Amino acid sequence: MKPVVLFDAGRLLDRSARDAPTGVDRVCLAYAEWLAARRDIRVVPVATVRNRLRAVDATHYRREIRTVRKRWSGDEPETANEQALVRALTGQTRGPSILDVEPGAPPLSLRRVRSVSQALTSRPLPPPSPGQAYISVGHTALNTPAILADLARRGVSSTIMIHDLIPITHPEFCRPGDRARHHRRVSYALRHADRIIVNSEYTADQLRAFADREALSTPPVKAIPLGLEPVFLTRGTLPSPAPYFVHVGTIEARKNLAFLLTLWRRLQERMGPRTPGLVLVGRYGWENEAVLDHLQRSPNLQGLVHQSAGLSDVSLARLMRGARAVVAPSSVEGFDLPAVEAMAMGVPLIASDIPVHRELVSGARLVDPLDGLGWLSALQAATDSPPVAPAYAPPTWATHFDQVAAFIGLPV
C-alpha cells in the first residue's frame, strides 16, 4: 500500500483566481506539482474548514493545479500588461505612472466564493495508516493548535514550512495584529510539528532565536533554498534602448520603495532627460500610501516610474532581462525570490546589504538600505555603463525536493 500524504491545498485553492502569484503562492504550486508527479505515494488534498482539516475534491484540485500553472506561467507572445509597459518605457511622451492593466476575469469575491464552496464539498480525512504524513507550506492550518494536535493524536507526522518571522521581528512593517497572529502560528508549529522547513539559514536563525526567547523546544529544522521556475534559469539579457530598472514584489513598507522613489526624484533632478525608467511590478500591500503619493502626485516621476501587476512568468522574465538591473532595496526579507531570479538569469542586481542577501546573492552590488548616496551612485553608474552580472549557481526545485524528500523520509 502506498503511503498517504495529506497536502494542505487551502492557500493554493484560495489564490487560484489570481492572475499572478506571490512568492508563497509559487511555493504552494511547486509542492502540489511535485507531490502529484510522484507515483510512490497517494496524495490527498486537504484544507481547513471551520478550524478542522478536511479532504477536498481531488478532481477539482487537479484541475485547479493545471489552470493555475497555465495562467501563472503564461505562454502569450506579449500580454496586455507587458504591451502597456513597453509603450510607457519607450514612448516619447510621458503617460500615467500607474498602469495595472488587468488581463482576464477579475478574482471572484468572498475569498473565491469560499474557495469554490470548500473545493466542492469537503469530506472527512482518510483513516490513519502507517507512514501517513501532512505537509503545509502556505502558513495554513497554523491559526489554531487543534489541527496539528489532532494530526499528532492520529499518528500523522507533520511537516510545516515557515517562510519568515518578519511580523514578529519587524512588526512595524506589518498590519496591526499580524505580530500576535504570527507569534501564535510559529509557537504552534514549534510545539506540534514534527519537522520544520525554512527557506534560508537566516530564517532558521530567527526561528531558533524565537524558540529560545519563548523557552520552546525546537523540532528538526532544515534550511532548504527555494527553487526557481524554468523561465528564470537560463542566462541572457535583452538590452533595451531606453534604460530602465525593475523592482518585483508586493508594494509594502518593508520593501523600502518610498526610499527608492525619493532616490529616483533625485536622479531625475541630476540627470534630467537621461534619467532611466523604473518599473514596480507587484500588487499593493500594507502601508503603501507614500508610494502612491509619489506615483500619483510627483511631477518629476510622472510617466518615468511605472507600477503594474499581473504579469505572467514569461512576461516578467522578459521585462527583467531588458533591465539595466533589478533593484531590491528591502529592509528585511526571508528569502527574496526576485533577487535570486535576477542572479540566475544573469541580470545585474543592486540589493540591500541585509543578512539574507549576503547569504543568497552575495555577488550582487549590495548597498546598505539606508545609504541614499550609495544607492544614487550605484544607480547612476549602472545607467551610464551597463554592469555585468557575475556567474551564479541558482537553486533549483529538483535539488530542493531531493532535500525535502530526504528530510521527511520519502525516497529520493
**What is the mean pLDDT for each group of 10 consecutive residues in the chain (412 residues)?**
93 87 94 97 93 92 93 71 73 57 41 50 82 93 91 95 98 95 97 97 98 98 97 92 93 95 96 94 84 88 88 91 97 98 98 98 97 98 94 97 96 88
Residue type, 183: H
pLDDT of the residue at 390: 94
In angstroms and rounded to an integer, the radius of gyration of the C-alpha atoms of the chain is: 22
- The C-alpha atoms of residue 282 and residue 252 are separated, in whole angstroms, by 10
- The C-alpha atoms of residue 328 and residue 360 are separated, in whole angstroms, by 13
What does each C-alpha distance from 8 to 121, 196, 391 come to in angstroms? 16, 15, 37
pLDDT of the residue at 322: 94
DSSP 3-state of 234: coil
Cell of 81: 500588461
DSSP 3-state of 54: strand
Tell me the fold of 4-56+122-227+397-408.
Answer: Rossmann fold (3.40.50)
pLDDT of the residue at 303: 84
Q: Which CATH class is domain 76-105+230-384?
A: alpha beta
DSSP single-letter state for residue 29? H
pLDDT of the residue at 91: 65
pLDDT of the residue at 171: 96
Listed in order, strand segments (DSSP E) in 218-291 are 221-223, 244-248, 277-281
pLDDT of the residue at 135: 98
CATH 3.40.50.2000 domain span(s) along the chain: 4-56+122-227+397-408, 76-105+230-384
- The C-alpha atoms of residue 139 and residue 8 are separated, in whole angstroms, by 10
Sequence-ordered alpha helix ranges (H) in 105-256: 109-120, 145-153, 166-169, 178-192, 201-214
- The C-alpha atoms of residue 334 and residue 166 are separated, in whole angstroms, by 8
Whether the Cβ atoms of residue 348 and residue 327 lie closer than 8 Å to each other = no
Give kind and range of the element (H or E) at residue 399.
helix 397-408
